[in-house]
Structure 1
Amino acid sequence: MRKSIASYLTLTLTICILLFVSFSSDETIDLSKYSTAGLELYYTVSQDQSIKDNALASNEVNKPISPILGKSFVGFKEALAFKESRGDYFIVNTLGYLGKYQFGAGTLKLIGIHNPSLFLKDPELQEKAFVANTQRNKWILRRDIKNFVGRKLNGILITESGILAAAHLAGAGSVKNYLRSYGIDNFEDSYGTTIEYYMKKFSGYDTSSITANKKAKAI
Structure 2
Amino acid sequence: MNKENIAYSALPVVVFLSLFFALNTSSEINYEQYLVDCSVESPEVPSVSFIEIANSENQSIECFAHPVLGKTFVGFKEALAFKESRGDYRSINTLGYLGKYQFGSETLKLIGIYNTMKFLEDPELQEKAFIANTMRNKWILRRDIKRFVGKRIDGVDVTESGILAAAHLAGPGNVKRYLRSYGAIGFTDDYGTTVRNYMRKFSGYDTSYIKPDKKAKVTFLL
Q: TM-score, normalised by structure 2?
A: 0.73
Match of 1:62 among 15, 24, 27: 27
On the 8 A contact 1:55/1:61 being kept in 2, the answer is no
> 2 CA distance for matches of 1:60 and 1:117?
44
SS at match of 2:6: coil
The equivalent of 1:182 in structure 2 is: 182
- Judging by fraction of residues, say which structure has more strand: 2
| Count of residue pairs brought into register by the alignment | 176
Mapping 1:48-197, distance limit 5 Å: 54=19, 57-60=22-25, 62=27, 68-197=68-197
> 2 CA distance for matches of 1:178 and 1:105?
24
Q: State the Cα RMSD in Å.
A: 2.6
> 2 CA distance for matches of 1:67 and 1:196?
25
SS at match of 1:211: coil
For 1:117-150, what per-residue CA distance to the aligned partner results, in whole angstroms no more than 9, with x for missing partners? 0000000000000000000000000000000000
TM superposition shift of 1:176: 0.4
CA change 1:92–1:40 in 2 (3 A) is: same
SS at match of 1:91: coil
Q: Matched residues, percent identical?
A: 66
TM superposition shift of 1:58: 3.3
Letter in structure 2 aligned against 1:88: D
On the 8 A contact 1:153/1:182 being kept in 2, the answer is yes
SS at match of 2:23: coil
> 2 CA distance for matches of 1:153 and 1:131?
27
> 1 CA distance for matches of 2:88 and 2:20?
32
TM superposition shift of 1:86: 0.3
Unaligned runs of 5+ in 2: 11-15, 30-65
CA change 1:105–1:68 in 2 (3 A) is: same
TM superposition shift of 1:38: 7.7
TM superposition shift of 1:104: 0.2
Structure 1 ranges of 4+ moved more than 2 A: 36-41, 53-56, 58-64
> 2 CA distance for matches of 1:182 and 1:173?
14
TM superposition shift of 1:61: 6.2
> 1 CA distance for matches of 2:164 and 2:118?
26
TM superposition shift of 1:62: 2.8
1:212 and 2:205 equivalent?
A: no
TM superposition shift of 1:155: 1.3
CA change 1:55–1:108 in 2 (3 A) is: farther
> 1 CA distance for matches of 2:94 and 2:188?
17
Structure with bigger gyration radius: 1
> 2 CA distance for matches of 1:81 and 1:103?
11
TM superposition shift of 1:154: 1.2
